[in-house]
């Protein structure tokens, strides 16, 4: 009863507890980029004859629903990430259907971050309006470069002007955060001299910073097997800059972004304070997540699972549960991707192990070589080791 003698209203139910993350893989794009090794299929070349269903997007969506129905009981993610492929390459109706499905199942109170990847050439005010209405909080735009020649060489479908237009549309739509991807480390005959190559990287960084994104990712070009760039390399073409020049480009980007207020919080990622990608932090700290879609991976209740890279249907390709010590070593390495590294207490809380018990001798040796910064209560990569981090990680895993 309240002070007026009337029955007190029933309080609204508490929102369900949330933990972990959800990843949804959209395996369609307008055209495969020259460097891309992620599983995707260009929409125009998905033939009806490849499946009993004449609409590969509809068949894929039914598979997403089936997988979602099999998620752990009570699964309510704190973060959602829709990646690809290119989610915004979906036709408007299919894109809206996907957003509505995710929102109805997992949206609402307690969802702290919802990211959607987008290509600037496939974004529209209507798609952004739909995202805002569904509850999307973050757009990750694959800019890669602001040079028309570089974009063409990488197989991108957009222009530098479309990147600028896309950022403006995101802001106008009221979506709170925008992230830009940049790529460096390619070989350009027009910028073969080191100073010219670094000038091109500096120009890309400045063009990105002029758009004031909340977050920036900077990835070094890697030539993955089976990609068009791999075929060019096999034919004797130079497609990547020398490693020494790639490192100089990385150091240039780090310095330029730090000077403008961006925190270097992970090897390839920079953010304004408080704008770090919370979903990706799950991956780097051994967190739990469910992946839906072809080629998607999950890590839940200690088990890792990966789906087959197949369409129109897919199945579970593998399941594995690592022994606790091996899993702890993996978590140690993944967490060292963050520039803060690990505190000893946080690592114990995350894994149940002390990292010195796991790899004490290796940590001491790497610290003596200047590759790790170790104190009695913490370890992290030395900045000089960021670009060669794989060498360090190989010693720890």
- Quick: pLDDT tens for 287-298: 999 999 999 999
User: For 23-41, how does the pLDDT look when each residue is reduced to its tens digit (9 = 90+)?
Assistant: 999 999 998 888 888 899 8
| Cα dihedral 148→152→156→157 (10° resolution) | 80
Q: What is the mean pLDDT of residues 122-140?
A: 97
Is the separation of the CB atoms in 94 and 88 below 8 Å?
no
Per-residue pLDDT for 220 more than 90?
yes
**What does the pLDDT look like over 39-95, one tens digit per residue?**
998 885 444 334 445 689 999 999 999 999 999 999 999 999 999 999 999 999 999
CB-hemisphere CA count at 13 Å for 55?
9
Phi, psi (degrees; rounded to nearest 5) at 387: -75, -20
Neighbours of 137 (CB within 10 A): 18
Sheet with 378-381: list strands edge to edge. 342-343, 378-381, 372-375
Cα–Cα nearest to 24, from 56, 72, 67: 67
- Are 213 and 167 a contacting pair, CB within 8 Å? yes
Residue 149's DSSP bridge partners are none
Angstrom CA distances, 346 to 329, 382, 396, stand at 14, 19, 18
Query: Residue 13 above 60 pLDDT?
Result: no
The answer to whether residues 307 and 294 touch, using CB atoms and an 8 Å cutoff, is yes
- Confidence check: pLDDT of 11 > 80: no
Q: Do residues 119 and 158 touch, judged by C-beta distance below 8 A?
A: yes
Tokens standing for 340?
């803060």
The CATH T-level fold of domain 323-397 is: Arc Repressor Mutant, subunit A (1.10.10)
Q: Percent of the chain having pLDDT more than 90?
A: 79
Q: Average of pLDDT values for 140-147?
A: 96
| pTM of this structure | 0.91
pLDDT tens column, 329-376? 999 999 999 999 999 999 999 999 999 999 999 999 999 999 999 999
- Residue 22: predicted pLDDT: 98
Whether residue 101 contacts residue 65, with contact meaning beta carbons closer than 8 Å, is answered with yes
| Spatial CB neighbours of 59, under 8 Å, sequence gap ≥ 6 | 51, 53, 311, 312, 313
Ranges of beta strands (E only) in the chain are 21-26, 28-29, 41-42, 79-84, 113-118, 138-144, 177-184, 215-220, 263-266, 269-271, 289-292, 297-300, 303-307, 316-320, 342-343, 372-375, 378-381
User: CATH topology for 21-284?
Assistant: pyruvate-formate lyase- activating enzyme (3.80.30)
Q: For residue 378, is pLDDT > 70?
A: yes
* Paired residues of 270 in beta bridges: 216, 264
End-to-end CA distance of the chain, in Å? 61
If 0-12 CB within 10 Å is exposed, 13-18 middle and 19+ buried, where does residue 151 land?
buried
Long-range contacts of residues 57-62, Cβ cutoff 8 Å, at least 24 apart = 57/28, 57/90, 57/91, 57/94, 58/94, 59/311, 59/312, 59/313, 60/26, 60/27, 60/28, 60/293, 60/294, 60/311, 60/312, 61/94, 61/97, 61/98, 61/101
More confident residue, 52 or 97: 97
- Of 195, 206, 101, 107, the closest CA to residue 147 belongs to 206
* pLDDT value for 200: 92
Q: What is the mean pLDDT of residues 254-268?
A: 97
On whether the CB atoms of residues 216 and 182 are closer than 8 A, the answer is yes
Number of C-beta neighbours around residue 284 at 10 A: 19
Q: Buried (b) or exposed (e) across 27-42, using 16+ Cβ within 10 A?
A: bbbbbbbbbbeebbbe
Report the pLDDT value the prediction gives residue 191, as an integer from 0 to 100: 61
pLDDT at 35: 87
* pLDDT at 63 (0 to 100): 97
Query: Could you give the CA distance from residue 264 to residue 286 in angstroms, rounded to a whole number?
Result: 20
pLDDT band at 12 (very low <50, low <70, confident <90, very high): low
In the chain, where the domains are located = 21-284, 323-397
- State the Cα–Cα distance between residues 256 and 248, nearest whole angstrom: 12
Tell me which of 84-88, 150-154, 243-247, 340-344 is least confident.
Answer: 150-154
Question: Over 70: is that where the pLDDT of 153 sits?
Answer: yes
Residues of the chain above pLDDT 70, percent: 92
Q: What's the pLDDT score for residue 197?
A: 87
């Amino acid at each position: 009863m309240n002070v007026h003698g009337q029955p007190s209203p029933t309080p609204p139910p508490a929102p369900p507890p949330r933990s972990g993350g959800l990843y949804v893989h959209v395996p369609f794009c307008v055209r495969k980029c020259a460097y891309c090794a992620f599983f995707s299929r260009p929409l125009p070349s998905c033939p009806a004859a490849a499946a009993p269903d004449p609409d590969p997007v509809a068949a894929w969506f039914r598979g997403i629903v089936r997988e979602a129905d099999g998620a752990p009981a009570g699964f309510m993610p704190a973060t959602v990430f829709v990646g690809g492929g290119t989610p915004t390459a979906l036709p408007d109706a299919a894109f809206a259907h996907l957003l509505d499905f995710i929102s109805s199942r997992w949206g609402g109170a307690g969802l702290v971050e919802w990211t959607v990847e987008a290509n600037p050439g496939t974004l529209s005010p209507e798609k952004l309006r739909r995202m805002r209405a569904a509850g999307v909080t973050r757009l990750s735009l694959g800019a890669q470069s602001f040079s028309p020649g570089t974009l063409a060489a990488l197989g991108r479908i957009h222009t530098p002007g479309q990147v600028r237009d896309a950022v403006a549309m995101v802001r106008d739509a009221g979506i709170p955060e925008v992230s830009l991807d940049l790529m460096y480390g390619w070989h350009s005959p027009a910028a073969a001299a080191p100073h010219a190559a670094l000038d091109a990287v500096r120009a890309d960084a400045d063009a990105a910073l002029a758009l004031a994104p909340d977050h920036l990712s900077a990835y070094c070009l890697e030539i993955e097997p089976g990609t068009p760039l791999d075929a060019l390399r096999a034919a004797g073409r130079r497609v990547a800059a020398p490693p020494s020049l790639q490192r100089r480009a990385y150091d240039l980007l780090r310095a330029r972004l730090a000077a403008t207020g961006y925190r270097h919080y992970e090897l390839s990622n920079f953010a304004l304070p408080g704008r770090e990608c919370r979903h990706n932090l799950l991956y780097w700290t051994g967190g739990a997540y469910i992946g839906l879609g072809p080629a998607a991976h999950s890590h839940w209740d200690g088990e890792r699972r990966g789906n087959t890279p197949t369409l129109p249907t897919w199945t579970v390709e593998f399941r594995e549960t690592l022994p606790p010590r091996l899993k702890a070593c993996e978590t140690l390495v993944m967490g060292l991707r963050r520039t803060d590294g690990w505190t000893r207490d946080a690592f114990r809380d995350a894994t149940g192990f002390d990292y010195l018990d796991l790899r004490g001798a290796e940590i001491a040796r790497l610290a003596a070589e200047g590759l790790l910064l170790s104190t009695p209560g913490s370890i992290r990569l030395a900045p000089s080791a960021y670009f060669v981090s794989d060498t360090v990680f190989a010693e720890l895993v």
